[in-house]
Structure 1
Amino acid sequence: MTMSDSLVLVNTVDGITTVTLNQPDRRNSLSMSMLEALSGALNQLAEDENTRVVVLTAAGPVFCAGHDLKEIREQFDQTDAQQRLFQLCSKVMQQIIGLSQPVIAKVKGVATAAGCQLVASCDLAIATTSSRFATPGVNIGLFCSTPMVALSRNVSRKHAMEMLLTGNMISAERAEQTGLINRVVDDAALDETVHSLATTIAGKSSHTLKIGKEAFYHQLEMGLAEAYDYTSNVMAENLDAVDAQEGICAFLEKRKPDWRGH
């Protein structure tokens, strides 16, 4: 799968699809047009059976600076336009979670406000030592309320509140400590680290990954007893799948499984 919207580039190699935010001159800000392009790419990926893992990255020195404040300023008196912008942004974040494929954020540079939200919305995130993260809306009088949703579901309550209330930038090392990202690597090691992780995941049953990702996010919103009831049913249904039975047989027979994707 290869697609170019100029704002978002999409390329698939060996089941790994890289989605690149491609407006470095605007710091890859999530303008209405960027969000529309990203949403369109995610819609296509949702139907793409050849994609097993998605890597979300960005061109240039900034991963994503959040919303385009110049665009927002032009819409100060257009409440409907403002609502459409934030609703579309929220839709894109939910599209990422709703994808059957795991999504890895590959971060180099700054990710602030809705850009930080984008990282938090991905299933996994790898960042370079030079990367920085912030939800600085409070500094300009616009609290990062929608970024807060993703942030507060990834890091502890007090760490999230500190970022939201101070607007301060945190280092990649601090982001790893709080759970916002999985790992920090040197700039030179970013490509290989992400590719290795993506390749490992791509080697699993796509059907199993789909079941597991969906169940993970569903059970997070449940009480303990309800979560166990739900996941018990998920596992029983999963066991009926061809790939589950093949995987168990392959393990017992000490051979490599032949995944069928169902």
Structure 2
Amino acid sequence: MAGQVHYEVQDHIATITLDNQKARNAFDYEMCLELKRLWGVISEDPDVRCAIVTGAGDKAFCTGWDLSSTASGESQDFAKGTRKAAPYNNITAVQNKCWTPVITAVNGMCNGGGLHFIADTDIAIAADSATFFDTHCQNGLAAVVEMVGLARKMPLDAVFRLCYMGATERVGAEQAKSLGMVGEVVPAASLMDRAREVAEVVCRWSPTALARTKQAIWESLDYGLEDALEKTHKILDVHADHGDMIEGATAFMEKRSPDWAPFDGKGVELD
């Protein structure tokens, strides 16, 4: 049976669950296509204000690309195309320019392509049983996209150790926190409760302000500081005309909860 991606929305929070437990929640071609579709669904759904990504079961979060397709030669064909055309480069919110806030709940081992979700998440919460490692080079594959992403948030020494040490050296949850891979470690039994608790707080704020903030932060990383400030200032220009600015200030003065407008799912063109 092929892997599946489960999706549900409750109280403005979307939960995406990677479910391919026979392969430790590795993603296959169909799962990649479904993830790409779901980020589009989230962008277009005004009811969704935050998303949680996690894995099924308690053993693994995600162990990357299903190696059975690598052995068959399928993934080599994908690697020869353009970066954005490869299915495993369209699995995260950032890759799909979905600006809805994302929390990644790491419920177990995270290896290889599973690190895409760590590199591209807004907030990462790990179970105390979670481990992180990378077996690309160990299995004859170049470790590129995930590691370039991680290099923007972790010390380079730690990134290289992931690549070079393979499965012989695994980063525990507390060490991952100290390295900046995750921001919080909780007991495994309370992982999803904590992820939802954080998501519920996020859902209280202006969906559009959150999305604009997320876009500005992520897209600023593509530029040097001065260019980043100049480019992302366009987001402020666009947001200045949004009703939530007045609604937030008015609600504060009137001592009431704001009535936020839904986010339309559209990013701001920076070029």
Same fold at TM > 0.5? yes
Would the aligned equivalents of 2:108 and 2:129 in 1 still touch at CA under 8 Å?
Answer: yes
Would the aligned equivalents of 1:207 and 1:261 in 2 still touch at CA under 8 Å?
Answer: yes
Question: Which residue does 2:187 correspond to in 1?
Answer: 186
Pairing of 1:186-225 with structure 2 (within 5 A): 186-225=187-226
CA-atom RMSD in angstroms: 2.3
Partners of 1:41 and 1:188 lie apart in 2 by 27
Pairing of 1:70-109 with structure 2 (within 5 A): 70-75=68-73, 79-83=76-80, 87-93=86-92, 95=94, 98-109=97-108
1:112 Cα deviation after fit? 0.2
Would the aligned equivalents of 1:42 and 1:96 in 2 still touch at CA under 8 Å?
Answer: no
Question: Which residue does 2:60 correspond to in 1?
Answer: 62
Pairing of 1:1-262 with structure 2 (within 5 A): 7-60=4-57, 61-75=59-73, 79-83=76-80, 87-93=86-92, 95=94, 98-167=97-166, 168-261=169-262
Q: Is the alpha carbon distance of 1:84 and 1:7 closer, same or farther for their aligned partners in structure 2, counting shifts above 3 Å?
A: farther
Larger deviation: 158-167 or 62-71? Answer: 158-167
Partners of 2:205 and 2:151 lie apart in 1 by 29
TM-score normalised per structure 1:
0.89
Larger deviation: 153-162 or 214-223? Answer: 153-162
Larger deviation: 223-232 or 172-181? Answer: 223-232
TM-score normalised per structure 2:
0.86
Q: String of CA shifts for 1:20-55, please: whole Å, max 9, x gaps.
A: 112212211121122122222222222111111111
Partners of 2:145 and 2:221 lie apart in 1 by 19
Amino acid aligned to 1:175: A
Amino acid aligned to 2:49: R
Q: Is the alpha carbon distance of 1:144 and 1:236 closer, same or farther for their aligned partners in structure 2, counting shifts above 3 Å?
A: same
1:128 Cα deviation after fit? 0.6
Amino acid aligned to 2:39: L
Would the aligned equivalents of 2:62 and 2:111 in 1 still touch at CA under 8 Å?
Answer: yes
Amino acid aligned to 2:52: V
Higher percent of residues as helix: 1
Amino acid aligned to 1:164: C
